[in-house]
Structures are given as structure tokens and as C-alpha cells.
Homo-oligomer: A and B are copies of this chain.
Amino acid sequence: MRYSELFISTLKEDPAEAELISHKLMVRSGMIRKLATGIYSYLPVGLKVIKKVENIIREEMNAGGAQEVLLPVLSPAQLWQESGRWALYGEELMRLKDRHQRDFCLGPTHEEVITDLVRQQVRSYRQLPVNLYQIQTKFRDEIRPRFGLMRGREFIMKDGYSFDRDEKGVEVTYQKMYQAYSRIFQRCGLRFKAVEADTGTIGGNFSHEFMVLASSGEEEVVSCRQCSYAVNADKAECRPPQTEPPAFPYAREEAHTPGLKSVPDVAVFLNKPVTVILKTLIIQADNEIILVLLRGDHELHPEKLRKHLNCHEIALADEETVRRVTKAPVGFASPVGIDIHKVIADLTVETMGNFVCGANVEDYHLTDVNWGRDFHIDQFVDIRRVSTQDTCPLCGSGLEINRGIEVGHIFKLGTKYSKMLNATYLDESGQSQIIVMGCYGIGVGRTVAAAIEQNHDQNGIIWPQAIAPYQVLLLPLDVQDKNVLTLVENLYTDLKAAGVEVLLDDREERPGAKFKDADLLGIPLRVNIGARDLAKNQVEIKIRRSGEIFKLVPDDVKNKLMELLGNLS
């Protein structure tokens, strides 16, 4: 493709409403344009990337035994009433009436429609398993659409649904999909983790989120550096404490700590490690005030606590409440002699003794405090945020913590929908059985956005080769120079003939402007062809990701490009 003919216009400025780098870069590089809030048009370069991801998904889903279908966008209310979701789904479900005043919605997901299709087609166990997927535009009227393609109201999704005879069957299908998903994100050139999304009470884990690792991710992923352990931070377990509390409690004392409100300050002042400081938090859990205790170097994971308490909201109590219950300003709370009845401590606190905590008196802390003797604890619970100081609960190796973007989710649905919609089959003995389902989603646009979050620098996108819109950018510096033109045109023809996707920047722009656009667009390999270089029989290849530059004689350029394309990721 010649740049002069390509329908693209790059922008120098970030769009005002964009917060995420992927959103900024997709708009600036002319991949997408906003039509309305959360609704985007895909321009040629953007659509090329989308199609590459779609094709990788398609190939791997097919290889995993799934078959592609295409279900309607318009979904009759009736099916959603059957499943109960017509009433349950809130304003996110976009609804409309047809000319006969019949109710429809725009499919945000397709469990109902596919289950209806399968229940009509499948009669016998011989027809199972069935695994169907589609790549389709979906609709969700998000209350706060944002981040470009990351959370839109109209978006492209691969959704798949499997139908098996029984639990054993769905588990086999689930494993195939797990493998397919792993290959998909690998082939897209992404660093990702398959994260356990639900620990599953009966036999194994059958819900995984596929997270692309990027610092801007909304999710926090804890994973082992050695084994396959990988979980969402709010599910990350801590290894049970390995130490015992000290055998001999000392006598409790009071220490004057003027103006020292934070754990590190107190530790430094008293010349103690932070691990012998007890952190006391006054927590508002819905309408209740509770006391939460953690080791000084640990942090509360509010979601873990919320789940344990089974309440709606968790927050630090406000200053007024702290003053009322501790009779002291914020920073000196203590479990000793406080009038709060529910006291929850993190598991690690069980191993602590002779520790330091607040005194419920301004500018004072207590030392050599011991739980049991000095105050009561109701429950020891795993409520802290796992840190890289922790070790893997499975194998004991070191942990790493990354931020991630959820791009895929696989899930054993069981009989939730098949029961409600009465999707059954006749088994070998002629008995009617309920079909067991799984579901498998990938956000296609979100995968593209996540790829940019993970692969960019201050100058623009750095596409992984497999999903780059073009593999090679030919950049003539002097489009008027005859030798430059001849070489560029020959290379363009040769590379295209070799099946390479080439963009030729034939615009009469300053080299600087072309370089800027080249970096923004992020095509893996760039060939700079200038008149001065050429006079010295020299051409430059630059790798976008590493910045590495090769200077070659013109005759070697094509071979070098082919070699680099074979090795690049």
C-alpha cells in the first residue's frame, strides 16, 4: 500500500478525552475514530490489526475443535424471559421494539440464543460434544464507556459456547479451550497470564481469566516465578505463617512518640523492625465499625476483607469516627482497651508477640504488647495484600505481581442455561439428560488495545509482528531523487511478490515528519532510503522495537528483511 493512497490521517495531539496510552495511540495513528461515546469506526489500519487478531483466534479455535457460526445481533425478548435475564439485566442491555411492537435486545452475549439453537438441533448423545463460536459485534450500554476500545458500548468479541454430555466432557473441552487461548495470545506476541478466576469448590478450577500484562491494567495479577500459580490479587493466598510467636511475653510499656503516626516513623523512632509493629485499622464495613489488625509491613486487601465479611462496602473510618472510638487523633489507634467488639487480624498477626501498637492516646504507643494477654482477637483471616516478599502457596517459590488487562475468559457454565432453557439430549439408555455447557470469550478490540498498552514507547506503537498492520515500512527520504525512487519501487514490488505486507511512504514530506509517523504507526521494520546514503551504496534498516540499525548495500536489503521477519517477535 502507498501511504499517499491509504485512508489515514495521523494526529500530533492526544485526543482530549483519552486517558489510556492505547486509546491515545489508536486515535493518533488513525486506527479508529469516535462516532459517539463508546462507539468507534475502524479505519483501514485499525481494521487490518483487528482482522489479524480475528484470524489467529479463528485458526486456533478451529484447531481446538470449535466451529464458527454467526448468530443474529437482534435477539427476541422471549428467549431472555425464558432465562430470566430480561428482568435481571439492567440498563446495560440495549432494547428496542420492532414495527409490530415486539421486544428485542441487541445481544451483549449469546448464551440464550446459542442454547436455543442447540436444543433445537441436538437430540442424541451422538451429536455431542458441540463447540461453537462466533466473532461478532456486541452491544452493552456501559454506564461509563471509556478507554477507547477497552470498554466500549459497541465492540467486537469472540464468544464461544460448548455443549457436552457431562462434567467429564466439559472438562476435556475446557482444557482444549485453555490450550487454544494460550496459543492465541502467544501467537499475538503478547506477554500474558492465565489467571484462576474462581477456586471452584468441586474438583479443580474451571474459570480462568487471560490477562495481558501491562502497567496500566485495571487488574492485579499475582503469579509464581516457578510454577503455574497465577491468580487475581483479590484471590491471591498467602502462605500460612512459618514462625511461632515468642515464647516469653515481656511486660507491656508505654512509649512517648510525639507526632509519629505512621508505621515506618514509629519503627525508626523506636529502633525496631517494621515487622514488630502492629497496624490497627478502624474500618467501616457497611454500617458496622470493626477493628482490623495487620503486621506493620503488610497491607490490607479490602476485597479479601469484604468477601470474608460478606458485606457491600469497606472503607477506612473517617476522622470523626476514629476520634470517637479511640479517643485519640488518627495514627494512635490500638486494640488495647478499645470499645469495638469485632476484631479481625490477618493470619500473620498470629505469629507476632512483644509488638508495638498505638495507645489510643495522642503521641503515645505501647511496646511489648501481646494478643490474648492484652486484648482479644475474634478471627485470624487471610486479609492482606500479597507482596513480592511472599512465596507461592503451591511451591514456595518467589512471587511476582503485575498489573493486567483481562482480554479473555473461559468458564465452565455447567447447567445454568441448559436447565433454564431445557436443553437436553437422550443418553445411551434413552434417558433425557441436561447438557453441560462452557463459555469462552475474547475481547478482540480489547486485545488490540492491550497489545498497545504492552508494546509502545514515548514515540508510538511497537507492534508484535503477528498483528502488525504492515511488516515493512519503506521510507524514501528524497522522493524526487531518481535513484532513490527506482530502488524503493523495486523493493516495493519484490517484497509484495514475496508476500510481505509493505507500506511505502511515498509522501512529499520532510524526513522528520515521516520518521514521526513511522514511530507512531509502529511497523516492525523500517527501511530508510536517502540519496546521500545511496550515493555511498548504502541503505538503512531499523528495527522499531530495539532501535537496532543495519547499514547494508541495496542488494542485500530484501534478504536481510526476510531474515529479520523470520526472527522477530
Binding site for B on A (CB under 8 A): 4-7, 9, 33, 35-36, 39-44, 47, 50, 65, 67-76, 91-92, 94-96, 98-99, 102, 104, 106, 113, 116-117, 120-121, 126-127, 130, 132, 137, 139, 141, 143, 153-154
Contact = CB atoms under 8 A, between A and B. Distances in A.
A96 B103 CA distance: 11
A7 B121 contact: yes
A113 B76 CA distance: 27
Number of copies: 2
Nearest to A92: B99
A69 to B, nearest CB: 6
Contacts of A50: 70
Nearest to A114: B41
A145 to B, nearest CB: 10
Contacts of A120: 33
A92 B98 CA distance: 9
Contacts of A42: 69-71
28 contacts: A5-B65, A7-B67, A7-B69, A7-B121, A7-B132, A33-B120, A35-B71, A35-B117, A36-B72, A36-B74, A36-B76, A39-B76, A41-B71, A41-B72, A41-B113, A41-B117, A42-B69, A42-B71, A44-B69, A47-B68, A47-B69, A50-B70, A72-B154, A73-B139, A73-B154, A74-B153, A95-B96, A106-B106
A11 to B, nearest CB: 11
A470 B330 CA distance: 74
A143 B99 CA distance: 8
B35 A98 contact: no
A4 B67 CA distance: 13
Nearest to A44: B67
A62 to B, nearest CB: 10
Nearest to A70: B42
B95 A91 contact: no
A262 to B, nearest CB: 44
A479 to B, nearest CB: 14
A505 to B, nearest CB: 14
Given A6-B67, A41-B71, A70-B47, A99 B35 contact: no
Nearest to A67: B44
Contacts of A43: 69, 117
Q: Specify which of A44, A99, A120 lies most central, judged by the most chain B CB atoms within 10 Å of its CB.
A: A99
Contact of A99 (B71, B106, B121, B141): B141
B74 A39 contact: yes
A557 to B, nearest CB: 26
Contacts of A65: 5
A35 B113 contact: yes
Given A33-B120, A76-B36, A70 B99 contact: no
Nearest to A136: B137
